[in-house]
Amino acid sequence: MSSDAWPPQLKDWVAKCLGQMTDINRQEAQAELRQVIADAFAAHTLWTTDWAGVQLKALLPQPIPQFNTANLKRKGHENSPNTKKAKKAVKTNHSTPSIDHNDRAALDKRAQRFQREHDLEREKSRVGGQAALKANHSTSHLFSNSNSRYASPSPFGQSDDPEADPNVIGWDRYTIVGTATEIFKDYLRLTSDPKPEQIRPYSVLQQTLLELKRRFRERTPYHWICSQFKSLRQDLTVQRIKNEFTVQVYEIHGRIALECGDMVEYNQCQATLKTLYELGIPGRVEEFTAYHILMLLHGRNRTELNLYVGQLSPKLKADPAVQHALNVQRALAMGNYHALFELYSSSPNMGAYIMDHFVARERAKALMVITKAYKTTPLTFIHHELAFDSLEQACDFLADHSAAHFANPGSADGQKILDCKLAGAQLPQVFEERYRKVLIKGAI
């Protein structure tokens, strides 16, 4: 069971539990942690469990020892019958070895020490679940002309520990801090505990992102770029760095994956970004909200789409990119192919890269409507109405869908007339065979 297959909420919960462990409870808590995850994996509930509400018994605060001195006997009366009965009862109940209960001051001091330790553990647990921390200066955006830099203060102030990293949520002395200096590192799945000398620190990771953007602009092969981005994301995850730079890394990789048609990596980036946005870390929330709506439209997941859109704030709905995605939803719901393909031609940001994955399906549906409505129609009409890049592309699409039946097949493409009756005869069957099921690669 690879940790790469874990949901983001589970990873955050594991990081939180590790941060709460102490030398006293570490062995017992780790064993319980492994058992809880194994049970959830066996029950297929890794993705449905509310991990934020799961509490390990080993990490619960232990009760403060209470000592009743009213019935304690002095050492001078240890040989009395009552004392012997008490000793026998203690042996029967397998109690811990006795201590000197006469030293009341020592007992009170010990109880106070336990109370302080429990208070510290509770405070650490509370702080570990709060929102994002302070971000250092980040680099300019890959697909944005803005040169603004982010410098958000920590929401809960500076740590008392001078070694604490302000970019790490719930920092403690067990947090890994990388020491590697190389800028590039190929992605490899972790098969053992990470070592600091194999992990790049935050300052090096910032240089890595700058170089990866430059290499991508220079047309470096995508498979190398993708491996480097995954390695960069892994180093951020291992060090529990969650700030605006982390958001920027996932946003840039998500856009590059869209441009290169890698929906597996895009969906992984989208899922992580959702978690980071929910932590309150700033980013291009509106842009990726629009992408998420388009992805749900691609998957024809109406139930989840309605729930997601219903939860959007008025501010989000007012954003141009989100409005465009909602207009696409409306056009699809109404079967308005004319409006749909106008929206396809005017997609903001990188929305067209997602629409590319379901535009062929919608063109086939539109053709079924057109061939029922007309006896004949010019190929030029099909070309413009369904937003094909060229007449040749329109002809190839018709041929690929068994609909290339023209009244004048020998004419030039610009003069061809589509015989709608013949063209629409096999379209329903072809549509059923090709588009009945939707394959979402890398879906979470």
Q: Give per-residue pLDDT as tens, 376-424.
A: 999 999 999 999 999 999 999 999 999 999 999 889 999 999 999 999 9
C-alpha triplet 162, 163, 169: angle, nearest 5°? 105
Q: 164-178 pLDDT, tens per residue? A: 566 666 555 667 787
Q: How far apart are CA 222 and CA 211, in angstroms?
A: 14
Mean pLDDT calculated for residue range 265-273: 94
Is the pLDDT at 311 greater than 50, yes or no? yes
CA–CA separation, 337 and 371 (whole Å) = 14
Backbone angles phi, psi at 7, to 5 degrees: -70, 150
Higher-confidence position of 264 and 100: 264
Angstrom distance (rounded) from CA 200 to CA 179: 6
Distance CA 437, CA 64 (A): 60
Predicted pLDDT of residue 58? 84
Please count the other Cβ atoms lying within 10 Å of the Cβ belonging to residue 200.
25
The model carries a pTM of: 0.62
Residue 110: pLDDT band (50, 70, 90) is very low
Does the pLDDT at position 444 exceed 70? no
pLDDT (mean) for 192-220? 91
- For 368, residues 6+ apart whose C-beta sits below 8 A from its C-beta are 424, 427, 428, 431
The pLDDT of residue 33: 86
Question: What sections of 104-221 are H helices per DSSP?
Answer: 104-128, 202-217
Question: How far is CA 94 from each of CA 69, 79, 389, rounded to the nearest angstrom?
Answer: 20, 21, 83
pLDDT confidence band for 112 (50 / 70 / 90): low
What residues have CB less than 8 Å from 352, skipping those under 6 apart? Answer: 344
Q: Which helix (H) or strand (E) holds 417?
A: strand 417-419
Q: 29-77 pLDDT, tens per residue?
A: 888 888 888 888 888 788 878 887 788 888 887 665 554 544 444 444 4
- Contact 380/391 with Cβ under 8 angstroms? yes
Per-residue DSSP letter, 406:
B
Overall average pLDDT of the 280-287 stretch: 94
| Token pair belonging to 48 | 């449905």
> Which residues of 211-275 form beta strands (DSSP E)?
none
* Per-residue pLDDT at 252 exceeds 80: yes
